Chains A and B, each alone.
Chain A
Amino acid sequence: MRLENVTVFCFFASYLCALMLELTQFLRQSVTLKWSSLGLTVAGLIAQTIYLVERSRQTDLPPLLGSSHDWLLVSAWLAVVWFLGMKVWDSRLSIGIFVLPLVLVLVVTSRFASSEPNPRVSISYWGSMLHAALWVFGILGVILAMIVSVMYLLQHRRLKHKRAELPALHLLSLERLNRINWWLIVCSVPLLTLGMITGLWMSYLAQSSSAPVSLANSTFVAFSLIWLGMAVLFGWLVVSRKATGRLVAWRTVLACTFLLVTLLAIKFLSVDGIHARELI
């Protein structure tokens, strides 16, 4: 089999089937289906890894710096790795039904995002690498915080309504979910901040190059507002002593949804003037 034949559809289909099998657990508990779902996820991850490696070979750039398309796929890849890690840690945990839909959204969005290599990488290779890495890990933290917050809200609702746990929906305790959520926000906001700073520095360096960047564009303003929103959430989380776990979870979900929708819309509509080639 030629590795170049691995397409986005291969791992998209694997993740979709894995999600379907996860959902069947609500109808009928089956160990076979559980392992099949995990197997399909692993197969999808292998296919995605091959695809990213191939893409990297073609563009002669690491996936993080390749293009918006690669960048979104790296985010999805990291989310799947996290999901599998959590499954190894606690196999009873029902995390696939939360992570796999987001992974599918990232994969679908990547299909429509620009796959042209970013021309400004040559200005500062390591600076670009740092900027992309900080943003990817920051965004990943935000995605995970959103997932954990949704899990918190579901668990909270079950406990408040005094319902027994569904065998197909085993979640972590509220205490642990709250702690994980707190750490994810506390870690991802500084990463996003550093990502912003390195981005500004990269833009400054680009002023003297053949492809200067104007900070007075709508994308930069949108990113700044997202960052500001997350920074406010971060500040409130650190300072507030009266916030209930449920309130934190709701605010996290709202802030993260806003961030993700904006980010994906920018990528999906290819209006990212800073990273894309076509708007230079």
Chain B
Amino acid sequence: MNVQVVYCNHQNANLALRERLAFSSDELLVRAYDELRARFPKSEHVVISTCNRVELYTAQEDPADTPTHDDLARFFSDFHQVPVIEFFDDLLECQGPEAVRHLFEVASSIDSMVLGESQIVSQIKAAFQLAMDSSANGPLTNSLFQRAMAVSARVRTDTKLSEGRVSIASVAVGDFGKSIFDRFDDKTVLILGAGEMASETLMYLRDEGVRQIHVCNRRLERAEALAKEFSGQAHPWESRLELLGQADVVVSTTGAERPILTAADFKPIRKKTGPKPVFILDLGAPRDIDSDVSHVDDGIFLYNIDDLEATCNANRKLRAAEIAKAREIIEEETASFMHDIYHKATGPIVKRLREHWHEISRQELELLFRKLPELDDRQREAFEKTIHRVVNKLLHPPLETLRDEARNGPPVGMLNTLKRLFHLRD
């Protein structure tokens, strides 16, 4: 059994590269799963693609079926039409316990830009759900992701990692938005895109008192649903430029592959509105808003995901003690998970061994009962119980030794010895 991950995230790859390797829509991911299945039919796959990371988890029953780092890099290259040489050094790889530990860290948001953010949990859940819908998952990835969710919950409960501002949206609104505006109840907010990030950002803005909300989305029905949730107004996508003139806060979270707003779009609008301050949050990956927009005039304050990194690092420093606690939990859970996985690998042999011994004892008991027909049911039952106990007691030491051996890795040598000693066949 093997678990493997190849990934690039905000710590090792810049936004431009992440944008090129990202799976920006569910349709794209479904296509990616089809391609992965075709290339690596004996592997289970789960892809996590968010604005901060692109991660591909694979798992195999037989370690010999594990795709190489090169194989997976070639998949990314072919799928996204990006030469391998441009990203290979930024596409990191982990196997076995390191891969498991990495997922647990991601799920516990230790690896997040904003330490302790809760959004990553729902993003992992959604990613795993899509893998299930595409039948890309399997028993190993099922156990791995279920355990990752449990570890994430434990870290949040047992540490103070989730206290205070935690998500990108809250840092953006709390640390930057509130340094620009004194109050939000008289501000107009324009949301471009109607995804989860938009919804989360709106929650923080609503907490700050925002009342005027406009939502623009390519699919009007999604815009209407979001607008209804926050008592805002939904608008067709085409009216976004007109609404920009009214907006004091713009939040863009679309999955567009190219910028949807450029400096050329802003200039005529700013000519009409004057240089009033506008707070723009570009939370899309790839970026939705051209970075030149911030140079149009002094009143435009544009932030994309990478810009929030400095604040996130400051949060990390303040919570360093909590990270240490969380890492202890993750280390313990990783060891426990790997032990379970390795132990699970011994399952078929243990089962066969038990069956084999119990079968022998059953045959011997039948012979005995035939020789002693005067035995009544109570006596027969007593014999059966005694023999059952003897078999279990004899099996206990080798199975315990097998369990201990599984703590450090798959006990391949011991399994082979058992097979040979007791003539167990695959």
A residues near B, CB below 8 A?
155-156, 158-160, 162-165, 171-176, 179, 241-247
Contacts and interface: CB of A to CB of B under 8 A. Distances in A.
Nearest to A174: B180
Contacts of A175: 180-183, 277
B299 A244 contact: yes
Given A164-B311, A173-B180, A245 B277 contact: yes
B314 A164 contact: yes
A-B pairs, top 3 by smallest CB distance, nearest first, are: A164-B311, A244-B275, A162-B307
B175 A173 contact: no
Contact of B179 (A158, A179, A241, A246): A158
Interface in B249-302: 274-275, 277, 294, 297-299, 301
A129 B275 CA distance: 43
Contact of B298 (A156, A172, A179): A156
Nearest to A173: B182
B357 interface: no
Interface in B166-220: 175-176, 178-183
Contacts of B311: 164
Given A159-B179, A164-B310, A173-B178, A245 B298 contact: yes
Contacts of B176: 159, 162
A46 to B, nearest CB: 33
Contacts of A160: 294, 298, 301
B401 to A, nearest CB: 55
Interface centre among A165, A176, A179 (most CB of B within 10 A): A165
A165 B179 contact: yes
A162 B300 CA distance: 12
Contact of B175 (A165, A179, A245): A165
B311 to A, nearest CB: 4
B303 interface: yes
Contacts of A155: 179
14 contacts: A158-B179, A159-B180, A162-B307, A162-B310, A164-B314, A165-B179, A171-B179, A174-B180, A174-B181, A175-B181, A175-B183, A242-B274, A243-B275, A245-B299
A4 B181 CA distance: 49
B410 to A, nearest CB: 46
Given A158-B179, A175-B277, A242-B274, 16 more contacts: A155-B179, A159-B176, A159-B301, A160-B298, A160-B301, A162-B310, A164-B175, A164-B314, A165-B175, A171-B179, A174-B180, A174-B277, A175-B182, A242-B275, A246-B298, A247-B298
Nearest to A242: B274
B317 to A, nearest CB: 11
A252 to B, nearest CB: 15
Contacts of B274: 241-242
Nearest to B313: A164
A245 B182 CA distance: 14
Q: Which of B175, B180, B311 has the most CB of A within 10 A?
A: B180
Interface centre among A159, A162, A163 (most CB of B within 10 A): A162
A36 B194 CA distance: 51
Contacts of A164: 175, 310-311, 313-314
Contacts of A242: 274-275
Contacts of B299: 244-245
A163 B179 CA distance: 11
